[in-house]
Structure 1
Amino acid sequence: MSTPHPGGGEPAHGQWAPPHAHARKGRRKWPWVLLAAVLLLAGGCAALVVGLAGESDKTVRVRYEVTGSAKDVAIAYTTWQGGALVTQKESHRELPWRKELETKGFVKGGLLAVTTGKGGGTVSCSVTVNDRRPWTATASGPEATATCSGF
């Protein structure tokens, strides 16, 4: 068995070193980085929930509109009921089509999708939330779909 290196520095290769001699050198930083990332993520999620909770108390007006030359379309759109998105469907509709509703519990991520029938044609969808700039999309052809989403 050898003794610790006499100058206090690192022992030469093959010399004995006390168990604590390398403990400070190899201290891991990743657990602290991971903990910081988790805390930042949790804080961001908490802020989002608080922000959404404040938004869900407000009444929001949503206006869905579909126009175009297609004679037979299928329409699917989301509504908000109790803070959850619910999909409504209407098929074999003639254009123009319009629906307006007021709701509480508004959550972003809404959708309005319009699909032409086998006869084709053109369809355009538009969604306006509280008189803001509308989300729009257009599609044409047989069984083509215009999708307005993310509102």
Structure 2
Amino acid sequence: MSEQATDDEPPPPRRPRRIWPWVLLLVAALLALAAGAVSAVLAHEVSQQGSRTLRIRYEVTGTAKDVTLTYSTWQEEALSTGRLTLRTLPWAGELETKGFMNGGSFVVSVGRSGGEVACSVTVDDGTRRTDRASGAFATATCSGF
């Protein structure tokens, strides 16, 4: 006798649909939208900051007679670095910059003759960084402005 389905037998049970792939797809789409929104906000902030003109004031005081200054800032959307050797202190310098991004650096290095130095950087938005150093070949660093 062969086995054949009859009208009296119920159909085989249907497998339930899996929901987790759809939930996973929805979560991935939401994360992509959130990342896009964050990127847009950051791009707007960088654009606004890049179009502002800022005044940066560098200052060095102390007793050292052989000092080397190295400073960096943003000029026309590119990193600019300068170097200056001083025989007497105090010294102050100012510059205006456009396209400024946080992360500037001002390093004051004392030469072989030693002495004391203090550096200060002030940005017109109120950001101020200071540091001190003393002794031969000592370094004061004002960074993150």
TM-score (norm 2): 0.75
Provide the residue aligned with 2:117 in structure 1.
123
Name which of 84, 90, 109 aligns with 2:78: 84
Q: Which runs of 5+ in 1 are unaligned?
A: 1-5, 9-17
- 1:145 deviates by 1.0
Name which of 49, 53, 66 aligns with 2:47: 53
Name which of 132, 140, 145 aligns with 1:146: 140
Provide the residue aligned with 1:24 in structure 2.
18
Deviates more, 1:86-95 or 1:117-126: 86-95
Structure 1 CA distance for aligned equivalents of residues 54 and 141 of structure 2: 21
Aligned residues: 135
Q: Which runs of 5+ in 2 are unaligned?
A: 1-10
Provide the residue aligned with 1:114 in structure 2.
108
- 1:51 deviates by 1.1
Name segments (4+ residues, structure 1) moved above 4 Å: 25-39
Q: Residue by residue, what CA displacement relative to the aligned partner does 1:60-117 show, whole Å, maximum 9, x if unpaired?
A: 1110001111111111111321122211111244311111112221211111111111
Q: Residue by residue, what CA displacement relative to the aligned partner does 1:30-65 show, whole Å, maximum 9, x if unpaired?
A: 676565445434432321221121122222111000
Contact 1:85–1:107 (Cα < 8 Å) also in 2: no
Structure 2 CA distance for aligned equivalents of residues 33 and 122 of structure 1: 58
Structure 2 CA distance for aligned equivalents of residues 93 and 35 of structure 1: 62
1:104 aligns with 2:101: no
Provide the residue aligned with 1:15 in structure 2.
none
Q: Percent identity?
A: 46
1:95 aligns with 2:119: no
**Higher alpha-carbon Rg:** 2
TM-score (norm 1): 0.73
Q: Residue by residue, what CA displacement relative to the aligned partner does 1:107-129 show, whole Å, maximum 9, x if unpaired?
A: 11111111111222111111111
